[in-house]
Structure 1
């Protein structure tokens, strides 16, 4: 799968949001693009992004719901799904990236307070999950050679 040229800027797509864990089995036969990512990248978990009011978040062109896909290679892909659309953005997460924890929320920001993504952990062990994610991300960021590009942010790309 060759990465297409993105048709939107990351700032147009990424806003603070709640992320709901989705059962991978529930996606089988329903979202073929995520199935393709699962087969090719070894997906660990998939999250659906929701607005603070609980509404589904779609990309600016309203072409599909947003999902966050975590692979076994420690990558996070922000995916906008549509029946025939797929695209990729890259965002560098560096040693200067800030991890802010509050209650069930984990927010990743740059030094200029630009929000990269905000997780909302919804399970009963939310605090423990949040702590584990922070520790895992910090470990990955310390391995600069291997994980220089930790976040891969994907948005809709119309392949006409």
Structure 2
């Protein structure tokens, strides 16, 4: 009995880094300001609560892969590439953003309390993906705060 012939040669198989590049190119098509993809976070559904609307969480109709990205201005964004229709959803994450994890849900509250965003992870490993995102967010935000302090100290020192 013959062994099955693979669809592609080993040299043609896409590697994870190539997938990141494809994702980066796709994201840059929507937001040219995006510099790098920090993490491919999993697949989510997006819900919003806006204070001016009321206390109801609205399904914004966005479902797809979630990415943690960094812009050229060193901002952290969470971006969802919507699979149900053409488009994206994004929100900026900063040290003022509060986030809370409960099971497969990641809830972000911005400091101005104008918008509450909830990501519901919908894959089989949803709880693990959500935990990984929270861990990575904490790491990235603490590094961002350290970098900002270092930069301010350097500017102060150089201007003396």
Provide TM-score, normalisation by structure 1.
0.37
Structure 1 residue 118: Cα displacement: 2.0
Q: Which residue of 1 aligns with 2:81?
A: 81
Measured in 2, the distance between the counterparts of 1:7 and 1:152 equals 54
| Unmatched runs of 5 consecutive residues or more in structure 2 | none
Task: Report Cα offsets for 1:49-72 as digits up to 9, x if no partner.
Answer: 999999999999999999998899
Give SS of 2:21's match.
strand
Distance 1:51 1:2 in 2: 64
Q: In the TM superposition, what whole-angstrom CA distance separates every residue of 1:74-106 from its partner, at most 9, and x where no partner exists? A: 976677999999999996533231111223210
Q: How many residues align?
A: 160
| TM-score (normalised: structure 2) | 0.37
Task: Give the 3 Å change call, closer, same or farther, for CA 61–128 of structure 1 in structure 2.
Answer: closer
User: 1:19 aligns to what?
Assistant: 19
| CA-CA distance at 1:133 after TM superposition | 0.2
Higher strand content, 1 or 2: 2
Deviation at 1:138, TM superposition (A): 0.8
| Greater per-residue helix proportion | 2
The secondary structure found in structure 2 opposite 1:148 is helix
C-alpha displacement of 1:15: 34
